[in-house]
Structure 1
Amino acid sequence: MRQRIALATLVVFANQTVLSDRLVEAIWPDRPPAASNNLHVHIYQLRQWLRRLDADVPDDLLQTRPGGYLLKTLPGERDVDRFDQLLASARQRAEVDPLEAVKFYQRALDVWRGPALADVVGHTTALTGEAICLEERRLRALEELIDIELRRGRHAELLPELLALASAHPLRETLCGQLMTALYRAGRRAEAVSVYIDMKKILMEDMGLEPSPALRRLYYQILNEDAALAGAPAGGYRACQLPE
């Protein structure tokens, strides 16, 4: 597991020098007296493992640098790089060709095979922040895909997924607004109103905050049965999305 943690840290910060102290902190949070010497052993064993994994691994893949180590990768070699490339393609097409954009969003999200860094975050806290940031990027991409699908009028097909997502992420206002929009368009106005009330209660009790102006505006649109929410031509719920 220690080699796995070292490799995960080097991959997350690929093409950057990762200081030895950072690796030691990740691998041995309590920092035993011989941690620095043990790190050299683990890096040596990691190099041997990489060579056994692929005989064509270049000699400079894992480099020793002043004060630390660097894992060299090429564009597109890491899952996150492929995700970013596909996501950029999806965003470029979002306004001009929504159907084609959906395909790229789905391909980008298919890169994910589970929670980011799932096999190491339970064994070290050093990568917790990076795992949270990666998960946030995945959720943003998913929200963007849902927004396009709502604009395409696919609210009925989205409802089961939105219900599950809103339950799993009760503080995400974008998902809440998207669920409200889908429920309203499906003729379930009372449920859409209830979703807002529940969200407001959670925000007030957990964070002492009111819902955002965008979410409140959507709520009043639903109460007033605003024609702008009636279908695909009006656009999906976008106002609460995080900025680029």
Structure 2
Amino acid sequence: MLSFSILGALEIYTEAGQVEIPGDLQRTLVQVLLISERQAVGGEVLINEMWGDSAPDNQTNALQAHVSRLRRRLRALEPERSLSRLTIHPSGYRLAVEDDELDAAQFFRKVQQAEMAMLTHPAEAADLLRSALAMWRGPVFGQLPGGTVCRLAGARFEEHRLRARELLFDAELDAGHHSRILAELHETHISNPLRERFCEQLMLALYRSGRQADALDTYRRMWQHLSEEIGVQPSPSLRRVERAILSHDPALSLGSGRGRLESDLTGARRP
């Protein structure tokens, strides 16, 4: 059985260890097929991803040659497999990969399990999310981001990665670990200065740690950054957290989860 890793540079493993797919064109071909979610990929898409504007005159024959080479390589890695992983269809080429053979699919499954556990078992959800995030070895596809399709997939996966970090901090806060995650949360906020959710979480962690002044200073610096960088004001959600800190709103107390916190802060402003 093979396993494929794309949460970082492309890596392929057999039971005996890591194997190489030589050449950027072959590696790009594998990458596009892996992000297709088991759907067939048209030849024109593959050609554009592999060569871009530098496609050879005999591009169809060149693609078929690379597909044949990859099929032979995969077959050699799994001699016991009866059917080829790489198959040809009227709509293009398809690589058969099960969810437990692809790290990205495992990442999404763990995040989904964590979301289900958030309300009742936040510490367990945090453990699941840390396990999921530990699967990342760097940017998707590493130093070979590929063409438009691969780059868009990489950006989409990176957004899911950031969302998982947001969920992780929500779970840690709900579990009462605000002091423990302060340094990690501050670093994440600094690395993503325009992502307001990390700012909200940092403000809440600081407030619960008895550092109200630092929480408010974090808000003021965020407001200044948003104004100078993109010319906008903080979102209503971020402003509600600032007002709640100023008034020592009980909704900020430990045990107010993400959904409950938003509901309480919104409801507190209604007549």
Q: Find the counterpart in structure 2 of residue 207 from structure 1.
A: 230
The answer as to 2:108 corresponding to 1:66 is: no
Q: Find the counterpart in structure 1 of residue 254 from structure 2.
A: 232
| Alpha-carbon separation, structure 2, partners of 1:58 and 1:160 | 52
Secondary structure at the aligned position of 2:234 is classed as coil
1:88-127 equivalences in 2 (<5 Å): 88-121=112-145, 123-127=146-150
Q: Tell whether the 8 Å contact from 1:183 to 1:189 is kept in structure 2 after alignment.
A: yes
Q: Find the counterpart in structure 1 of residue 38 from structure 2.
A: 15
TM-score, normalising length: structure 1: 0.88
Q: Tell whether the 8 Å contact from 2:86 to 2:93 is kept in structure 1 after alignment.
A: yes
Q: Find the counterpart in structure 2 of residue 75 from structure 1.
A: 99
| Alpha-carbon separation, structure 2, partners of 1:126 and 1:87 | 24
Secondary structure at the aligned position of 1:127 is classed as helix
Secondary structure at the aligned position of 2:87 is classed as strand
Q: Find the counterpart in structure 2 of residue 221 from structure 1.
A: 244
| Alpha-carbon separation, structure 1, partners of 2:249 and 2:96 | 54
Q: Find the counterpart in structure 1 of residue 11 from structure 2.
A: none
The answer as to 2:199 corresponding to 1:172 is: no
C-alpha displacement at 1:17, in angstroms? 1.1
Between the two proteins, what is the percent identity of the paired residues?
Answer: 36
After superposition, the C-alpha distances for 1:198-229 in whole angstroms (9 at most, x for unaligned) are: 22223233333221111100011122233332
User: Match for 2:57: what amino acid?
Assistant: P
Q: Does 111-120 or 162-171 show the bigger shift? A: 111-120
Which 4+ stretches in 1 moved above 6 angstroms?
none
Q: 1:58 to 1:13 in 2, by over 3 A?
A: farther
| Alpha-carbon separation, structure 1, partners of 2:164 and 2:153 | 17
Can you give the 5+ residue segments of structure 1 that lack an aligned partner in the other structure? 240-244
1:136-215 equivalences in 2 (<5 Å): 136-215=159-238
C-alpha displacement at 1:33, in angstroms? 1.9
User: Match for 2:219: what amino acid?
Assistant: Y
User: Number of matched residues?
Assistant: 237
| Alpha-carbon separation, structure 2, partners of 1:95 and 1:4 | 41
Secondary structure at the aligned position of 1:164 is classed as helix
Q: Tell whether the 8 Å contact from 2:208 to 2:254 is kept in structure 1 after alignment.
A: no
Can you give the 5+ residue segments of structure 2 that lack an aligned partner in the other structure? 1-23, 263-271
Q: Tell whether the 8 Å contact from 1:102 to 1:148 is kept in structure 2 after alignment.
A: yes
Secondary structure at the aligned position of 1:165 is classed as helix
Secondary structure at the aligned position of 1:63 is classed as strand
Q: Does 21-30 or 45-54 show the bigger shift? A: 45-54
Q: Does 27-36 or 163-172 show the bigger shift? A: 27-36
Secondary structure at the aligned position of 1:28 is classed as helix
Q: Tell whether the 8 Å contact from 1:151 to 1:235 is kept in structure 2 after alignment.
A: yes
| Alpha-carbon separation, structure 2, partners of 1:208 and 1:187 | 32
C-alpha RMSD of matched pairs (Å): 2.0
| Alpha-carbon separation, structure 2, partners of 1:235 and 1:178 | 11
Q: Find the counterpart in structure 2 of residue 47 from structure 1.
A: 71
Q: Tell whether the 8 Å contact from 2:172 to 2:178 is kept in structure 1 after alignment.
A: yes
Q: Find the counterpart in structure 2 of residue 38 from structure 1.
A: 62
User: Match for 1:91: what amino acid?
Assistant: E
Q: Find the counterpart in structure 2 of residue 242 from structure 1.
A: none
Q: 1:34 to 1:195 in 2, by over 3 A?
A: farther
User: Match for 2:167: what amino acid?
Assistant: E
| Alpha-carbon separation, structure 2, partners of 1:119 and 1:5 | 11
User: Match for 1:38: what amino acid?
Assistant: A
Q: Find the counterpart in structure 1 of residue 108 from structure 2.
A: 84
Q: Does 5-14 or 63-72 show the bigger shift? A: 63-72
C-alpha displacement at 1:236, in angstroms? 5.1
Q: Tell whether the 8 Å contact from 1:83 to 1:108 is kept in structure 2 after alignment.
A: yes
